[in-house]
């Protein structure tokens, strides 16, 4: 399977955005700090997410990003596909030329697995994820750490 850090980071960033956009647009630097993802990498991901109408940018002071649709309307599979990731478990990327120019013995098995993974990820939306207890726990921990860093920086100034 070819789900790389690109897809994982995109889903993580979108989940972070979902959790924090109630206070207005969320900056990529805030997401980068909370999720330990490179800002330049997030810029690349959000460019693709914007092209696929999953996020919208808000310019100017207080600007950042917001979801372009409601969280229940954005499936995890949408996010992964928007950043050109694949959940294809076949060796041939579905072309059926796994063994030379022919289909291999296990092609149907891996193709079925790919479809089931896609269906699974397509059945989970961002709203469902943010409601899980463990996501809430992790988000609270991350916010506490980031707020502690901000408080220390303010005190030092």
Residues 101-126 have pLDDT tens digits of 888 999 999 999 999 999 999 999 99
Q: How many CA atoms lie within 13 A of 133 on its CB side?
A: 0
Residue 21: its H or E element: none
Residue 104: its H or E element: none
Q: How many CA atoms lie within 13 A of 95 on its CB side?
A: 9
In angstroms, the CA 149 to CA 32 distance is 14
What value does the CA radius of gyration of the chain take, rounded to a whole number of Å?
A: 19
Each of the 157 residues of the chain gets a pLDDT tens digit; together they read 567 889 999 999 999 999 999 999 999 999 999 999 999 999 999 999 999 999 999 999 889 999 999 999 999 999 999 998 878 888 888 788 988 888 899 999 999 999 999 999 999 999 999 999 999 999 999 988 887 766 565 565 5
> Which of 27, 33, 91 is CA-nearest to residue 57?
27
């Amino acid at each position: 399977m070819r789900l790389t850090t690109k897809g994982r980071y995109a889903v993580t960033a979108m989940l972070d955005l979902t959790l924090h956009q109630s206070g207005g647009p969320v900056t990529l630097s805030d997401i980068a700090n909370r999720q330990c993802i490179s800002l330049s990498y997030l810029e690349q991901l959000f460019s693709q997410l914007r092209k696929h109408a999953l996020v919208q940018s808000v310019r100017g002071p207080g600007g950042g990003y917001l979801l372009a649709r409601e969280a229940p309307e954005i499936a995890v599979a949408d996010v992964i596909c928007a950043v050109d990731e694949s959940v294809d478990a076949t060796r041939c990327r579905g072309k059926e030329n796994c063994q030379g120019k022919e289909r291999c013995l296990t092609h149907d098995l891996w193709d079925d697995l790919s479809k089931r993974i896609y269906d699974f990820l397509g059945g989970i939306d961002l709203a469902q994820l943010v409601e899980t207890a463990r996501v809430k726990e992790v988000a609270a921990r991350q916010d506490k750490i980031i707020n502690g860093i901000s408080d220390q920086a303010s005190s030092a100034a």
